[in-house]
């Protein structure tokens, strides 16, 4: 097992006007499951390929354990990669696919067969070792690709969106299997995905990237509760956090005809700012009994049984303004939610309101609920 360190690692593609990955500094612990997440083009796959040796590092360094691997070829880095498209040899059996890398390393046949069988038992593939990949489902092929990585007993597993070719239901079951398997093996793993739900449910820690720059790295819950900036706040969470622009006033931030209470220390950090953005998770809202709260014109109601999601816009807007207005989402714990077209008031717990400087995008409020 080993740690992984990116030290100001930078990748600039020829002809590009900005780096694909810009001075990435990231420490990954021994045995840790680290997920790199972000939208398309954010640099997460490039970072993984730099670690694998498939992309040049133009500046900075990458270490695996105490070895500087920045200029080493992939075969000398002691890593194993699981690709999005499985990359299995169609003419070989499952067993031969899993053991091919060992064969190339001149591992004796008996040891090869033993390691393949051990991996097959871990992955439930014992009955498929003599089949060809074309006779397997997508989920089974992905497990074969995992098995091929496991038998090599590398220091680091690298996984590049390995579940993106699976259907929704299979993705859910396979991601729990991968997380459980990694925990059992204890191998340092770097996992790339654009799916923030996947990131939140699988990673020990999650690194959020945007435009080649690391925005924040923390545990999934910490990212959810204390996003560092507007991008992380809007990216992490499903449905996403409501990010609402308002006017800075003496007692808080005015949204429509309601002033959302904001702690004084946060208001102090907004000195000189006329507007700010507040962030409110959908589950923080409650239906207000009186006239106190953010006014919402309900456009859509999604009833899920135990609770419901209300989608709408701020009350008091003209029909033309509603078309371009930001949508607000509220999760309501009610068996009898308001109907579409209703006007409601949403009460807010001020201790769970995030406040962001609109100019810099940085969060200025302290941890929610602290």
What domains does the chain contain, in order, with CATH numbers? Answer: 4-234 (3.40.50.300), 239-356 (2.40.50.140)
- 370 — pLDDT class (breaks 50, 70, 90): very low
CA distance 74 to 22: 22
pTM score of the predicted model: 0.89
- 1 — pLDDT class (breaks 50, 70, 90): low
Quick one: tokens of 279?
Answer: 């962030």
Give CA torsion, residues 233, 237, 239, 244, to 10 deg: -10
pLDDT the model gives residue 367: 60
- 368 — pLDDT class (breaks 50, 70, 90): low
Q: Which residues of 312-342 are buried (b: 16+ CB within 10 A; e: fewer)?
A: bbbbeeeeeeeeeeeebbbbbeeeebbeeee
Task: State the burial class of residue 306 (Cβ atoms within 10 Å of its Cβ: 0-12, 13-18, 19+).
Answer: exposed
pLDDT the model gives residue 316: 76
Candidate ranges 22-36, 148-162, 164-178, 279-293; pick with highest mean pLDDT: 22-36
- 251 — pLDDT class (breaks 50, 70, 90): confident
Q: Is the pLDDT score of 300 beyond 90?
A: yes
Give backbone dihedrals phi and psi of 268, rounded to 5 degrees, phi first: -60, -35
């Amino acid at each position: 097992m080993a740690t992984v360190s990116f030290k100001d690692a930078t990748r600039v593609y020829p002809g590009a006007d900005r780096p694909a990955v810009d001075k990435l500094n990231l420490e990954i612990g021994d045995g840790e499951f680290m997920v790199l997440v972000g939208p398309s083009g954010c640099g997460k796959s490039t970072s993984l390929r730099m670690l694998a040796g498939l992309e040049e590092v133009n500046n900075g360094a990458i270490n695996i354990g105490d070895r500087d691997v920045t200029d080493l070829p992939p075969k000398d880095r002691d890593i194993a990669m699981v690709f999005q498209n499985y990359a299995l040899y169609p003419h070989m059996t499952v067993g031969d696919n899993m053991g091919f890398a060992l064969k190339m390393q001149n591992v004796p046949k008996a040891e090869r067969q033993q390691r393949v069988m051990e991996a097959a038992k871990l992955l439930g593939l014992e009955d498929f070792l003599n089949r060809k990949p074309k006779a397997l489902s997508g989920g089974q092929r992905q497990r074969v690709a995992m098995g091929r990585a496991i038998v090599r007993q590398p220091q680091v597993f690298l996984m590049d969106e390995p579940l993106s070719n699976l259907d929704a239901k299979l993705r859910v079951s396979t991601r729990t299997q991968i997380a459980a398997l990694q925990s059992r093996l204890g191998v340092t793993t770097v996992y790339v995905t654009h799916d923030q739900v996947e990131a939140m449910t699988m990673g020990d820690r999650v690194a959020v990237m945007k435009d080649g720059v690391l925005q924040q790295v923390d545990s999934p819950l910490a990212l959810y509760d204390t996003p560092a900036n507007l991008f992380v706040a809007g990216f992490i969470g499903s449905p996403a956090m409501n990010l609402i622009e308002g006017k800075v006033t003496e007692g808080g931030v005015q949204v429509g005809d309601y002033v959302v209470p904001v702690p004084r220390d946060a208001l102090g950090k907004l000195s000189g700012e006329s507007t700010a953005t507040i962030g409110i998770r959908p589950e923080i809202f409650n239906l207000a009994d009186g006239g106190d709260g953010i006014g919402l014109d309900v456009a859509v109601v999604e009833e899920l049984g135990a609770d419901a999601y209300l989608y709408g816009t701020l009350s008091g807007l003209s029909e033309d303004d509603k078309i371009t207005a930001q949508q607000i989402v509220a999760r309501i714990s009610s068996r009898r939610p308001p109907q579409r077209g209703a006007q409601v008031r949403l009460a807010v717990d001020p201790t769970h309101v995030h406040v962001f400087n609109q100019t810099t995008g940085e969060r200025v409020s302290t941890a929610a609920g602290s």
